[in-house]
Amino acid sequence: MNKKQPNMNFGAAGLFVVFCLLFFILLFRYFSIQFTGEVGSQPLAVKAQQKYSRTGSLDAARGVIYDQKGEVISEDTTSYNLIAILDKKMTTNPKKPNHVMNPKNTAKELANFIEMEESEIYSILTKDQFQVEFGKAGRDISHQTKKEIEALKLPGITFKRDSKRFYPNGIFASHLVGYADRVDEEDGTYKYVGKMGIESILNKELTGKDGKINYESDLWGYLLPDGEQKITPAQNGNDVYLTLDKKIQTFLEDAMNKVVEEYKPKKIIAIVADPKTGNILAMGQRPSFHPKTKEGIDNSWHNEAIEISFEPGSTMKIFTLAAAIEENKFNPNELFQSGSYRVTSKDKAIHDHNRSGWGTISYLEGVQRSSNVAFAKLANEKIGFEKFREYLTKFGFDQPTGIDLPNETSGKIQYTWPIEKATTSYGQGTAITPIQQIQAATAIANNGKMMKPQVIDKIVNHDTGEVIRDVTPEVVSSPISAETAKEVLDILETVVANEETGTGNRYQIDGYSVAGKTGTASIPDPKGGYLVGQEDYIFSFLGMAPKENPKLIVYVAVQQPEIDHYSMGSIPVSMVFNPVMKNSLQYLNIQPSQQEKASTTKLPDLDGQGVSNTVKQLEESGLEVVVLGKGAKVTGQFPATDTDVLEGEKVIIQTDGDLIAPDMTGWSLRDVMKVAKIAGVKLNSTGSGYVDKQNIKEGTLLRKGEFLIVDLKTPEEKLKLESQNKEADENSELPDEEGEKLPQD
């Protein structure tokens, strides 16, 4: 007993020492941490900040693309991604499930809203995961579709807010505007990258810089009420204003659609430009594609107006004519022998498009008839090949225009041998781009000053509205004088207006003088020579209006439409040129250049007056009155009060009864527009001239918002077409001695 006592005292003393050492070590550690603020050479403040500090991303919006008047062409818009929660642990109350309870029924319902088979959806919903998404089919869900799915109250189905690139106009200058694709990053974020057109070439300007937010949170990640926040704001992408005009572009898209439907051409290329500024107001092509769905993009990756050069055909004669006039070598009354011409004794003969020519004619008639011989002689014998080559450079045909669009190509001027120099004068052998023709044509329509084509109007800071880049008109050169430009316009007007010899009669526009030139270019055969089918041509027209002071240039080219004879090639081209030019001039409030000289009457306010007395009063003033409705009182009128109207002009009055469609056969489009305006109907027109047919029959009701479609024809059109077809059949051309197909205008 006594021996154990010392051992116990020794053990207790040992424990006491051990606990004392632990206490002093703990105490030392405590004060050490207090004074140094570090553990293992790691600052505790930093560790705490890492544990309770959170970083969030503030997404930057991609810049908006507008037309020149601020109409949206491309923008970011809110969308939603479809998500399904599959983990049963998310449901704490069986009466209010938070996960997918019935995969089969859920798959059946979702199949009605997303492009995915029910079986595939079911397969996704039965995976052993916390949550699932539905790939491309579950992205870009619209707000309306989201609401409809939410209304089904499907357990476990939810949405994540997202954004997408939205193109509200659909197929609309698609190759010019381009598109932006979503690119997913490794960290789970994404961005949109431009892949074509403006979206591509201005991708840097359109792309914003994401911001971030640093904030303090609790253990579960929730924001602390008094926690510190540090915000780096997002910098949204800059907005781009194009020179396009939405209204004119819509005219162009609609016209091309009609030609595609009726003639099914291999290609259509069309451009509308302002010759005073070089601004491109519209640009389109067929085939085209939808920038959102990419439907149709496999048919044409290239902007045909910019990236592809081809033989222009006789539209090139505009610039040969301008060079001859500028050099004072063009005498419109001088005679020459048409039909065929040899540049040298060793070269093959150049033929006119009808091979036999028209005998001895003047050079003016040679222009009007689009004589290849006339222009070959002008280039060789009058201007001289070397001097003519200088004008090809002056008009910019041997270099890109520098337009702000990607992948622009240049012309390919074949100018080695005498025969190549001669054929270049009338648009064969040498290849140029449509945009080069537009640039060169500005010199003709703008008093000799050639303007650089522009598609960008300005670039604006999205957040501040500050103009970062303001594009101004740029004069490239002055290849000809103002006097030469005027004379060229006067001569080109006769190509359209002269009923006897002009090849451009089909491009006459009621009320406006048009100056222009037709073109029918052969298509090279990959096996050698040229294609020889009746439709194997590129039919084109380059026109300017009004001739006295052109406000618009319109170029249209249609390749290989389904026609019975090449002489009909101008029909599909005119179906684009005529309505686009006329509707655009009217939209721009360009006054008609051909007005009858007649007495005018200032139209009084007719509202509330009796119909019979009003009709009598207006007819006594020499006006033609059309009454819409069967009421007794006037409730509306067009033209408006105090408008000066010409003697014989139609005045449309609206009564307080139902509006009844009149017989509009023989009416001008201008008068039809009055009815459409006052009745509130949507007007579509085809052709040119006067009304031949109308879809709303005479005597039926005119309902607001419905479509009124009229088919226009010139009085001579039907007879002329029959005559052309008959003549073409009788004089069916044969290939020349080397198999080359000659252009026909």
* 490 in a structural domain: yes
Are 582 and 606 in the same domain?
no
Looking at this protein, which amino acid is placed at residue 618? Answer: L
**Quick one: angle between helices 317-326 and 434-445, nearest 10?**
40
> What's the domain count of the chain?
3
34 in a domain, yes or no? no
Tokens of 96: 């209010």
Q: 446 with 545, same domain?
A: yes
Regarding whether 572 and 424 lie in a shared domain, the answer is: yes
Could you tell me if residue 737 is inside a domain?
Answer: no
> Does residue 67 form part of some domain?
no
Q: What is d(CA 214, CA 208) in angstroms, rounded to the nearest whole number?
A: 20
**Model pLDDT for residues 485-524, shown as the tens digit of each residue:** 999 999 999 999 988 888 999 999 999 999 999 999 988 8
Report the C-alpha gap between 407 and 404 in whole angstroms: 10
Residues 446 and 533 in one domain: yes
Measure the CA–CA gap between 305 and 437, rounded to whole angstroms.
10
Instruction: Say which residues have a Cβ less than 8 Å from residue 524's Cβ, sequence separation at least 6.
Output: 311, 530, 531
pTM of the entire structure?
0.71
Are 250 and 397 part of one and the same domain? yes
Residues 382 and 316 in one domain: yes
Q: HSE, CB side, 13 Å, CA atoms: give it for residue 39.
A: 8
Same structural domain for residues 431 and 527? yes
% helix, strand, coil for the chain, step of 5: 35, 25, 40
* 6 within a domain of the structure (yes/no): no
Q: Which helix or strand (DSSP H or E) is residue 520 part of?
A: strand 515-522
Residues of the domain holding 641: 600-719
Return the CATH number at 278.
Answer: 3.40.710.10
Residue 583 sits in the same domain as residue 642: no
Looking at the structure, tell me whether residues 367 and 424 fall in a common domain: yes
Indicate the DSSP class of residue 367.
Answer: H
Is there a catalytic annotation at residue 314? Answer: yes
* 418 in Cβ contact with 379 (< 8 Å): no
- Counting as low any pLDDT under 50, the low residues of the chain are 1, 218-222, 224, 595-598, 718, 726, 729-741, 744
CA-CA distance, 709 to 688, in Å (whole number)? Answer: 13
Which residues, other chains included, contact 357 with Cβ-Cβ below 8 Å and sequence gap of 6+? 337, 338, 339, 340, 371, 373
Catalytically annotated residue among 314, 338, 522, 584 = 314
- Among 166, 201, 228, which residue terminates a domain? 166
